[in-house]
Every structure is written in C-alpha cells, then in structure tokens.
C-alpha cells in the first residue's frame, strides 16, 4: 500500500516475528533485519523463522531480509526495534547511517543497561531523535497468541498522534486491535516494570504460594507501578487501562510469559545463571530489576515488590525468606 511509509523491523526473536507478521497483513513490503544469517537463509527457503514462532508462514516476496542493519535503516521511514534491551547498544554501534530523519518505534520492554534509560529516552538523549519522532508499542499482547491469530490488543504511544495512528493502522487486522496514547514515558515504563512483577509472580509460584496470594501480589503490583511512574513522569493517566494493568496481568499470569517462567525457576531454587542457561529467550525483567531499583534510589517511591525481587536476584538472598517478609508489607 503506497500511501503508507516504508517500515523496517529490527530483531529476529518472537516479538519481532510477530510484528513482521502483523505488518505483512497491511503492507506489500517490509525490511527485516536479523543478526543470524542462517535464520535468514532458512526463512528464504522454508518461509518461516526457524527459531521463533515457526508456525508463522511468510510470503518472502514481501520481505527484504538482511543481516546488515544499515541496509534496513536506509530502506525505511519507520523503524520498529524489537530486540532485547541488553543488546540494543551493541546493535546500534553497527550503524553508519543516520537515524535523525527516521521515525523510531520501540517494541522493547526494558531499560538500556549502558544508560539506565528506557528506549525512547535513550534514542532522544543519545541520538538526538525528537520525541515527536519516537513511539512505543505495548500490549497486552504475547507474540505466541499473535502467531495463533487470537484476538489481541496493542497500545501505540507517540507524541505525534498522526504517527501513532499510522503505526496503529499498519499493525491492525482481524485479530489485532490497536489504540493510540500520548503517554510515551508512562507506557514504556509500565512495559518495563510489569516484567519485574511477573518475575515476582513466578517466584511466588515456584515457592508454593497459591492463587490467593498471586491476586494480592498483582493488586499491589499495579499500585506500586502507579507510584513509580508518577515519580518519573507525572501526568493524568488511568493506571487501570490495558497498557498498564492489562499488560501487567497477562505477563504475570500467562503460560507464555518468559519473565514468569524465569521467576518460577528462581523460586524453585535455580540460580540466576542456571535459569538463564535453561531458557532459550531473554527475560527482560532480570535487567529491568537492577535498573528500576537503582533509579528508585533517586525517586524514592515505595516499591517493596521491586526491592524483594532485587534482593533475590542481585543480593543472593533466599527467596522464601524474602517473600515471607514481603507478605507483611502487602495489603
């Protein structure tokens, strides 16, 4: 459809694959950058990503596949980044072309470790991209359910509502409903924080707490999220909207949640290293926990759940003892 700008997807994981699938419903061509050249060659021959969401078939005539990030960036007007935040800086270091005339949308749910910034702020401060050219794609939406074409909802946040509407339209379809928001900072922090609470939910399950406690944990989690985000970026927002509460619930409860899975393994006694080795995907919440805890040393929000997860993951404290103390702080 020529009325739309050109899009590029940066990343080869499950969320990048899901976004490519959504875009291909509405666009005749997209660029798709993956580091893994073998995955690209497999996709060209077999029409699916061999490593993630392998049930999703693509028409390769719609894909400009490349393992050169500069080629993908040069092609596109709108660039959607969907790689783990821990790897963003190393991928961006490969760039020799400018991002300044591009519209950047982040589908990354984490903080950039090198700068301790959410992705939108990172692009603004490190690459001088104006906020009106930066956007965020958040859920509640798991890539696996996109692959199954189950009804899913997206929130597209951008300071320029026209750009948000373009991305929302390009991602929408029979099973995808997308709405727009002007809360770029809040939605992106929510997308990062919910991964920490999902780890907490997983730890609780691994220790042996039941559904009753899980509901209290999630209820406290959304209130804690509200306090944290208000400290970072005060504006009028309804924390019960899907981009905040909905995304928290699906990440905290879903069988597809890698952060819950990671937390569950920690609760069962795995070390951080052994849990990471066993998982084939990155648990963003691990990195987010350290960043959020460090940021909150400045902000001073009351965050007993974040503090508890940090104590377990980074201070090596015993999960059962930490959660026993946490139960006294929740209501």
Catalytic machinery residues: 194
Beta bridge partners of 135: 105, 158
Q: Is the Cα dihedral 107, 111, 112, 116 positive or negative?
A: positive
The answer to whether the peptide bond before residue 140 is cis (omega within 30 degrees of 0) is yes
Beta strand 152-158 pairing with 134-138: antiparallel
Beta strand 7-10 pairing with 30-33: parallel
User: Which are the contacts of 32, defined by CB distance < 8 A and separation ≥ 6?
Assistant: 8, 9, 16, 20, 63, 64, 65, 66, 72
Task: Name the burial class of residue 93, with classes exposed (0-12), middle (13-18) and buried (19+) by CB atoms within 10 angstroms of its CB.
Answer: exposed
């Amino acid at each position: 459809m020529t009325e739309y700008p050109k899009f590029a997807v940066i990343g080869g994981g499950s969320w990048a694959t899901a976004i490519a699938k959504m875009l291909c419903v509405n666009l005749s061509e997209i660029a798709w950058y993956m580091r893994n050249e073998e995955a690209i060659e497999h996709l060209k021959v077999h029409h699916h990503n061999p490593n993630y969401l392998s049930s999703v078939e693509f028409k390769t005539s719609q894909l400009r596949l490349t393992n050169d990030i500069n080629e993908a960036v040069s092609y596109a007007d709108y660039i959607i980044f969907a790689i783990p935040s821990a790897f963003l800086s190393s991928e961006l270091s490969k760039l020799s072309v400018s991002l300044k005339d591009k519209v950047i949308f982040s589908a990354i749910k984490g903080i950039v470790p090198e700068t301790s910034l959410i992705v939108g702020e990172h692009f603004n401060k490190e690459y001088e991209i104006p906020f009106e050219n930066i956007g965020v794609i958040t859920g509640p939406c798991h890539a696996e359910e996109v692959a199954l074409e189950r009804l899913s909802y997206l929130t597209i946040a951008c300071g320029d509502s026209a750009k948000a509407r373009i991305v929302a339209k390009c991602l929408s379809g029979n099973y995808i409903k997308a709405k727009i928001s002007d809360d770029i900072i809040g939605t992106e922090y929510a997308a990062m924080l919910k991964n920490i609470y999902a780890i907490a939910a997983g730890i609780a399950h691994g220790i042996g707490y039941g559904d009753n406690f899980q509901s209290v944990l999630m209820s406290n989690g959304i209130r804690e999220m509200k306090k944290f985000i208000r400290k970072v970026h005060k504006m009028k927002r309804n924390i019960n909207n899907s981009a905040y509460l909905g995304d928290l619930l699906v990440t905290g409860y879903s069988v597809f949640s890698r952060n819950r899975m990671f937390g569950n393994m920690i609760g069962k006694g795995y070390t951080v290293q052994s849990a990471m080795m066993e998982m084939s995907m990155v648990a963003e919440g691990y990195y987010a926990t350290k960043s959020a805890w460090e940021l909150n040393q400045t902000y001073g929000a009351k965050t007993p759940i974040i503090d508890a997860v940090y104590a377990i993951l980074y201070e090596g404290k015993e999960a059962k003892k930490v959660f026993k103390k946490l139960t006294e702080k929740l209501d």
